[in-house]
Amino acid sequence: MASILRIDASPRYKASKSRALADSLLRSAGVTSTRRLDLAEDALPPIDLDWIEADAEDPELRSAVQQDALALSDILVMQLRRCDVVVLSTPIYNGSIPASVKLWIDQVGRDKVIERGTASEEPAPGEPRLAFICLAVRDAEAATPAVETYLVKVFQALGFSDVTVLVANQTPFNVRDLDAAAKKLSVRMGHRLA
């Protein structure tokens, strides 16, 4: 069975459209269990000079201080590597992603880490890693293609070859897109939808 990492960013919790969209996707696909990372609850620190210098250092030559500087990043990277599917739910504020999502991307998007992935950490051959990006916007015009394109490219760089973007706005969710995404996720999970 595929392992799913769900990442939520909205601080609105029960009133969040992005969380509701992710809930609908997972429920429609018959998913009952995920690993969770809540960026609204577990605030990530920004990268700093110590982090940058530690990341630039050869991993075999890092000092204890440099290893400490990357400890949280290492945990987040391993969490990401161990999953087959990521479901990111995030609002769009002022035409962009929230800072919490950008901080997460900074922590996991380390060049040397992306290059160093090993076969034992990747899914079986023929099984693409899936990412579902559940965006919430105030209205249809606020769904900027630039944000969608950026997030798709980020997840592709992180090793997710199949990325699906779903957008929720003030109107009800587009059921056709949600149903298609749920079917894709269900198949990946080994379920059959009725």
Q: Is the model more confident about 112 or about 177?
A: 177
What's the pLDDT score for residue 194? Answer: 40
What's the pLDDT score for residue 73? Answer: 96
pLDDT at 126 over 80: no
CB-CB contact of 128 with 161 (8 Å): yes
What's the pLDDT score for residue 142? Answer: 58
User: Domains in the chain: how many in total?
Assistant: 1
Categorise residue 135: left if φ over 0, alpha if ψ from -120 to 50, beta otherwise.
beta
pLDDT tens-place string over residues 2-19: 789 999 999 998 888 899
What's the pLDDT score for residue 136? Answer: 87
| DSSP classification of residue 138 | S
77 occurs within a structural domain: yes
129 occurs within a structural domain: yes
pLDDT at 115 over 70: no
Strand partners, 17: none
What's the pLDDT score for residue 170? Answer: 55
Tokens of 135: 């965006």
CB-CB contact of 5 with 79 (8 Å): yes
Q: How many CB atoms lie within 10 A of CB 5?
A: 19
pLDDT at 131 over 70: yes
114 occurs within a structural domain: yes
**Residue whose C-alpha is closest to residue 141's, from 98, 170, 165:** 170
pLDDT tens-place string over residues 29-51: 889 889 999 999 999 999 999 99
Provide the sign of the torsion angle of the four alpha carbons 29, 35, 40, 44, taken in this order.
negative
Confidence of residue 166 (pLDDT cuts 50, 70, 90): confident
Rounded-to-integer distance, Cα 33 and Cα 105, Å: 24
What's the pLDDT score for residue 2? Answer: 76
95 occurs within a structural domain: yes
CATH classification at residue 71: 3.40.50.360
pLDDT tens-place string over residues 50-96: 999 999 999 999 999 999 999 999 999 999 999 999 999 999 988 89
Q: Is the model more confident about 190 or about 155?
A: 155
Q: Is the model more confident about 116 or about 140?
A: 140
| DSSP H or E segment with residue 88 | strand 85-91
What's the pLDDT score for residue 192? Answer: 42
| DSSP classification of residue 143 | -
194 occurs within a structural domain: no
Q: What is the amino acid identity at position 76?
A: L
**Residue 75: which domain range?**
4-189
Could you tell me the pTM of the whole model?
0.86
Q: Summarize the chain as % helix, strand, coil (round to 5).
A: 45, 15, 35
What's the pLDDT score for residue 120? Answer: 38
Whole-number Cα distances in Å, 21 to 81, 135, 172, 174 = 24, 8, 10, 10
What's the pLDDT score for residue 178? Answer: 74
Rounded-to-integer distance, Cα 175 and Cα 159, Å: 28
